Amino acid sequence: MTKIGIVGCAGRMGQMLVAEVLNGEGLALSGGTERPGGDAVGRDLGELLGRGRLGLPVGSDAKALFAASDVVIDFTSASAAAIHAQLAAETRTAYVVGTTGLAADQEASLRQAATRTAVVWAPNMSVGVNLLFSLVEQVAALLDPATYDIEILEMHHRHKVDAPSGTALGLGQAAARGRDVALDSVWQKTRDGLTGPRKAGDIGFATLRGGDVVGDHTVVFAADGERIELSHKASSRQIFAKGAIRAARWVIGRPPGLYSMKDVLGLA
């Protein structure tokens, strides 16, 4: 049995992940944690999900959870992910990270942890989105940057705190790889006022927020006379939980390294 721990187990994604582990063949829930002092700490994980008592209370000691697990899944926050990466390295526990909005130093924490344990990190754990990443890279490589402009549109629920979304940035990175350029040298994240004409080769982003939208992403390749659009629309967060469990199953036994969902899906 693969022992899986969930940090941030009381949140929306955390509860979905716990449910996926409990329903998964060959999987065992090693536990779940929340921030010290959180309302859920001490409550039974099964009762938290409305499934009856499991005898596993929500804890607050993340290091103990890592030590008790074969792999830990994290959809918490960027600051927490950096701390958890250090714990994964210390305990040599495989680590699956779906958290977005990481700053450069927080990303460095993941890369450092990956020198001592296997880390799967993806801006989006959905199988469909990761297929979209590959398609965007292929299309960008085939289309002339002087002729086809790339614009990325994303919309999420009103509570999302980072923009552009990690998935939108991942799509931008895929397009930039296809064009063999660095994304930060060509991206245009905001437009306001008299911006002047669009610069050939730029990759633009547009961000929408509102309602309860789980996640909509569209990459537009626009030229004179035609437009190609590649889209993915998520109607349930369950797809992210299922993708994370797939990554957790895959990462067990892998050597230290930083992996992506492309590796998990055999697209690398």
Q: Residues within the annotated binding site for NAD(+)?
A: 8-13, 34, 98-100, 122-125
Which residues share a beta bridge with 20? none
Measured between alpha carbons, how far is 215 from 155 in angstroms, rounded to an integer?
A: 6
Q: Residues within the annotated binding site for (S)-2,3,4,5-tetrahydrodipicolinate?
A: 157, 166-167
Which DSSP string do the residues of 9-68 spell out, in sequence order? Answer: TTSHHHHHHHHHHHHSTTEEEEEEE--TT-TTTTSBHHHHTTS---S-B-BS-HHHHHHH
Q: Residues within the annotated binding site?
A: 8-13, 34-35, 98-100, 122-125, 157, 166-167
Tokens 């210390």 sit on residue: 90
Which DSSP string do the residues of 151-175 spell out, in sequence order? Answer: EEEEEE-TT--SSS-HHHHHHHHHH
Distances (CA, A) of 135 to 213, 215, 223, 225, 259: 23, 18, 18, 22, 19
Query: Cβ atoms within 10 A of the Cβ of 217, count?
Result: 25
Q: Residues within the annotated binding site for NADP(+)?
A: 35
Could you list the active site residues?
156, 160
Measured between alpha carbons, how far is 133 from 167 in angstroms, rounded to an integer?
A: 9
Q: Which amino acid is at 152?
A: I
